Structure 1
Amino acid sequence: MKVLFIYPPVTRPKDFSAKAVRVSVFFPMGIAYLLAVLERAGGHETAAFDALSEGDIDEGRPMDGGERLRYGLSDEAIARKIADFAPDVVGVACLFSAMQWDAENVCRLVKRAAPAARTVLGGAHAGCMAEEILREEPAADFVLLGEAEESFPALLAALKSGGSFSKLDGIAYRADGGVRLAPKTRYISDIDAIPFPARHRFDMTRYFTSAKSHGFFRNAPFTQMITSRGCPYKCAFCALDAHWGSRQRLRSAGNVLAEIELLVERYGIRELHFEDDNLTADKKRALELFEGMTQRGFHLSWHVPSGMAVNTLDERLLEKMRESGCYSVTLAIESGDPEVVRKLMNKPVDFKRVPGLVKKIRALGMDVRGFFMIGYPGETRDTIRRTIEYAKELELDWSYFSITSPIPKTAMYRTCIEKGYIKEGDFDPIRSFHRSIIRTPEFTPELLREIREEAIIDVCFRNNPNLLKYDLDRAIADFSSVVNHYPHFDFANFYLGEAYRKKGDIPRAVESYQNTLKANPAHAEARRRLQELHHD
């Protein structure tokens, strides 16, 4: 069979452009794993393209009279690629909620360009919303639940033979006028047996040169990899159990090191981003991995964009991480109130360890950052304030404050529905991770937006520990990064000016204050600074 894989483009409302939240390019890891599996098995002609990275990802192309913006390839370009390959089956990635419309749109384009082709959606969000997608989108034929290295080849075999889908594991499809869903019950126990992702099927330079990671990077070329599947924790806000299963499965350290060696030798990789949900949950394996990276002399820099679990870290592990090239640790703390974390989030965080970890990470010369959620259902204005003050007291290099988003099918989502904090249908796949939809007796979405904006300014800029006492160069680097991504943020320009002024670089300070006034002509502090520096 002819099998085509497509990673969708990004389409956004005009008020939610890349200027509001940047568009990030990810190497399509899931597609690359499936390509590798089909290559090894043989029997199919395969192709793939990334409709995001192969098009414009900076400015966006107006659609629908300018009401929306498209990043990546146009519908016409995608349809041409589909028609040129003439596939029998098309696999479409739908990892995140924000991808749903674009993934469904790709399915519609498939039906237009290759009407006989069958469409298959996969990824964490697609699996979570399988029944809803099949009920609402006629162009979607199948949805695979969870990992698909076994279920996708099984589906292809059934399609080729004309066999039944009823005995397949982890699949949703239409039958008898409705949607049938076979739950995911079988997971690959030996994930070392899965071949490495078929990176050779992609132009990897697109990902090396785009400089659009979803976190940050220090050296290029960089790439992502994953060394485990799942997480042993059962956080109420997380939907990953439904995708990866209820227990964590680990690749051996030797298998991971072999892939790293390939990345270094074949692609010249200088930095890795481990996309694991909990990289250090198994300390023995983590130590073996980090020691192996050091012993093999990879000389890589690395970090974990999705954060690291506080309870898995200790001084020895941090030292081995640093030796192996880790330059930044983001602690997934989530709240400054232990009761919120323990009772509401169901997340294990030992708060007694956090200050010591922060000091140790800083002493080892690594950046130390923190993830925090505000507006969690059940918390109060006081607990939100405690979270912000706690982040400030820790003296982190950077604090990430996110609006709590109730992901469908999670325990937190069910709590919100039961208590009337949200209604079915309130979840906005595109905006909900940045704009609250939760209303409780304690807070509204509007209040949370104000609190978050002030927390970012107060903790990350005004009271940034590197600006005030530690490392002006690091403050300048962090503030510059924000300005580069969001030049219209007046506060980022202003505090970049403050950092340059404290360092004695008056010309750059003046330029930053002037940029502040371009973004906000009413910014009194910037105007006063320019008067003090006689550049009014």
Structure 2
Amino acid sequence: METYKPPHLGIAMLFSYINKVFGNSVKCFLLDALPDELSTDEISKRICEIRPDALAITVKTMQVVQSLDIIQKIKKNISPIIICGGNHVSVDPELFIKCGADFSVIGEGEEALEIILKKVFFECKNLEYPPNIVMNSKYDQAERENIKKCIYLSDDVDKYGIPNWEIFDLTRYNENIHINKASHALPIIASRGCLYKCDFCSTHLTWGTTVRYRSPHLVFNEIKKEIEKYNISDYHFYDDNLLFSDTWMDEFLWLIEKERLKFNWICLSRPEIICKNRHLLERMKKCGCKGFELGFETQNEDLYNNMNKKNKKTAFIEAYNLLSEKEFEMIEFLIMCFYDGETMKTLFETYESLKKYKKKKSLFIYSRYFATPFLGTKFNENLCEKGVILSNNLEYKHAIFLNFIPYSFLNSSLENFRVNGKTLAIQLLFSQIDYVIHKNEVATLLDKINTEKFAKIFNEVAENRGIIQDLCDRILCINNYTCCLESIYEYVGRMIEFAVAKGAIKYKNENPIL
């Protein structure tokens, strides 16, 4: 994601917990491919040089291919116990066992890692493997097929302590809280789990639907200790909804007020929760809260309801006005494009609505992501019936890639929409279209069909009351069917979204959409 390189909070927690349990009996090394921009060959070489007894790999969906490659390369040279965990392992643990890993951890990792190390290296035979571990059969002769897999082992998250960042060189990372990106922040989390199961979200598959809070005192002491040790005074809360518990927040703010600790922080919450807890907003601001991130997703109420968000779009207006009234420095809307049900009209509605929010006092920013059908989510079910999958490669299962085009969008009308080719050309000079899956074919299309030509084709289809599928077919014909259809969809989808976001597409009708 360009130059954004946050330090990994999960690894810092695991390192802290292992140190607490084993002390000097276990020595840990960190190999982070993110700041070093390492290839799988370079990663494998370094691991083989270290020759660890145990290799623990944390895996997100877009890292699956690389992780499996590393496992296979390692096993050709050395034979460590290989333990995999992370988001994707939680939803497909058997995949990693089949490819050579010894253990796959579902969900929470601290106690699982502790028990694996104790049984394998410290011969603690009286311990049993917990039900959030899938393993190679050679480590457990008992019949485990009927054991119900769980995500976490304890309701007491305080027992895992606080993250230990000593294993990281924090100067090489650049987490921030949006206000000043040159000022480094540390990630922090006060709770695990999310009560809401939005259809596109995989959080509940990793953390569960029970919200388990760490004590306010523990979180406060963590921040206080890190300020003293690292001289970092910005904190980015990763909680899915930090404001979910008003009693927790009340006590956390009381601790800050009592000790007059000075630090800056931002958090994620939901609009109806913000409105419900408006009595806390003034105190939060005085205690260093600089702003909120909100899952706005789309302006369209029907599309929003399709996502199973469990609140009303009108709540955003009320919450935004509240935050602006309290003069929080930053408010960020998280936008999701191309979810099932998206049309040309709903996409245009969303970007048009953002212009109204920008007029408020606070620094208003938005981050655009693409709907991504992660394994195990409701959104992923019956996907082929809902649209076109642009890539089956897991490396592109990341919300910065347009990897799904819904039929609702392809079948939506272009009537009354027009593209200004000159405006589009100017915008492309300053902001290039990047993060594409079919890189070579899309580059060829961008070179062959320049902005003026794209605008001309788009407007001709619109004048003839055509749909986006007609636009795709026209472009496919121009290229003599030499491009795969998926690359055409990706090119058209990215061009339209870019043009709408940059104001190069207008809606011409006596009755405006908004």
Q: Shared fold by TM > 0.5?
A: yes
Distance 1:367 1:311 in 2: 18
Aligned residue in 2 for 1:299:
262
1:365, distance to aligned residue in structure 2 (A): 4.2
1:234, distance to aligned residue in structure 2 (A): 1.2
Q: Give yes or no for the alignment of 1:175 onto 2:175.
A: no
Identity of aligned residues (%): 21
Aligned residue in 1 for 2:302:
339
TM-score (structure 1 length as normaliser): 0.70
What SS class does the counterpart of residue 372 from structure 1 fall into? strand
1:228, distance to aligned residue in structure 2 (A): 0.6
What SS class does the counterpart of residue 294 from structure 2 fall into? strand
1:447, distance to aligned residue in structure 2 (A): 4.1
1:400, distance to aligned residue in structure 2 (A): 2.3
Query: What 5-or-longer segments of structure 1 have no aligned partner?
Result: 1-20, 56-70, 463-536
Of residues 27, 34, 54, the one that matches 1:46 is 27
1:100, distance to aligned residue in structure 2 (A): 1.8
Q: Give yes or no for the alignment of 1:237 onto 2:204.
A: no
Distance 1:80 1:238 in 2: 35
What SS class does the counterpart of residue 317 from structure 1 fall into? helix
Give per-residue Cα distances to partners, 1:424-450, cap 9 Å, x unaligned. 972543365221323414325444323
Q: Give yes or no for the alignment of 1:359 onto 2:321.
A: yes
What SS class does the counterpart of residue 220 from structure 2 fall into? helix
Query: What 5-or-longer segments of structure 2 have no aligned partner?
Result: 139-143, 411-488, 507-514
What SS class does the counterpart of residue 389 from structure 1 fall into? helix
Give per-residue Cα distances to partners, 1:80-104, cap 9 Å, x unaligned. 543444322111111x222223323
- Aligned AA (2:164): A
- Aligned AA (2:270): A
Distance 1:275 1:253 in 2: 15
1:112, distance to aligned residue in structure 2 (A): 4.1
- Aligned AA (1:407): F
Of residues 231, 243, 259, the one that matches 1:280 is 243
Of residues 177, 190, 206, the one that matches 2:156 is 190
TM-score (structure 2 length as normaliser): 0.72
Distance 1:101 1:248 in 2: 31
- Aligned AA (2:213): L
Q: Give yes or no for the alignment of 1:223 onto 2:223.
A: no
Contact 1:333/1:349 (8 A) holds in 2: no
- Aligned AA (2:56): G
- Aligned AA (1:455): V
Listed as ranges, the matches of 1:136-535 within 5 Å are 137-138=99-100, 140-160=101-121, 161=123, 167-175=129-137, 183-184=149-150, 186-207=152-173, 211=174, 217-218=180-181, 220-304=183-267, 307-314=268-275, 315-342=278-305, 344-363=306-325, 364-395=327-358, 397-417=364-384, 419-422=385-388, 426=392, 428-430=394-396, 432-433=398-399, 434-443=401-410, 445-458=490-503
Aligned residue in 1 for 2:54:
89
What is the CA RMSD across the aligned residues, in angstroms?
3.2
- Aligned AA (1:99): Q
Distance 2:132 2:406 in 1: 35
Contact 2:93/2:104 (8 A) holds in 1: yes
Contact 2:103/2:134 (8 A) holds in 1: yes
Distance 1:185 1:404 in 2: 25
1:79–1:427 CA distance, 2 compared to 1 (3 A):
closer
Give per-residue Cα distances to partners, 1:193-224, cap 9 Å, x unaligned. 212112223323333xxx36596745634211
Distance 1:294 1:420 in 2: 51
- Aligned AA (1:146): G
Q: Give yes or no for the alignment of 1:35 onto 2:2.
A: no
Answer with 425-434 or 386-395: which moved more: 425-434
Give per-residue Cα distances to partners, 1:143-172, cap 9 Å, x unaligned. 110001111111222323396998532122
Distance 1:225 1:406 in 2: 27
Distance 1:165 1:352 in 2: 52
What SS class does the counterpart of residue 244 from structure 2 fall into? coil
Higher RCO structure, 1 or 2 (CA under 8 Å, sep 6+):
2
1:73, distance to aligned residue in structure 2 (A): 6.7
What SS class does the counterpart of residue 119 from structure 1 fall into? strand
- Aligned AA (1:385): F
Distance 1:108 1:322 in 2: 50
Contact 2:292/2:330 (8 A) holds in 1: yes
Contact 1:308/1:330 (8 A) holds in 2: yes
What SS class does the counterpart of residue 293 from structure 1 fall into? helix
1:54–1:447 CA distance, 2 compared to 1 (3 A):
closer
When the two structures are aligned, how many residues end up with a matched partner? 414
1:134–1:381 CA distance, 2 compared to 1 (3 A):
farther
Q: Give yes or no for the alignment of 1:26 onto 2:6.
A: yes
Distance 1:182 1:102 in 2: 29
What SS class does the counterpart of residue 381 from structure 2 fall into? helix
Distance 1:100 1:185 in 2: 20
Distance 2:16 2:69 in 1: 26
Q: Give yes or no for the alignment of 1:110 onto 2:74.
A: yes
Distance 1:285 1:353 in 2: 23
Distance 2:380 2:344 in 1: 20
1:182, distance to aligned residue in structure 2 (A): 6.0
Distance 1:214 1:298 in 2: 18
Give per-residue Cα distances to partners, 1:270-293, cap 9 Å, x unaligned. 201111111111122123223433
What SS class does the counterpart of residue 458 from structure 1 fall into? coil
Contact 1:126/1:145 (8 A) holds in 2: yes
Of residues 52, 60, 64, the one that matches 1:100 is 64
What SS class does the counterpart of residue 90 from structure 1 fall into? strand
Contact 1:54/1:73 (8 A) holds in 2: no
1:454, distance to aligned residue in structure 2 (A): 2.2
Contact 1:219/1:270 (8 A) holds in 2: no
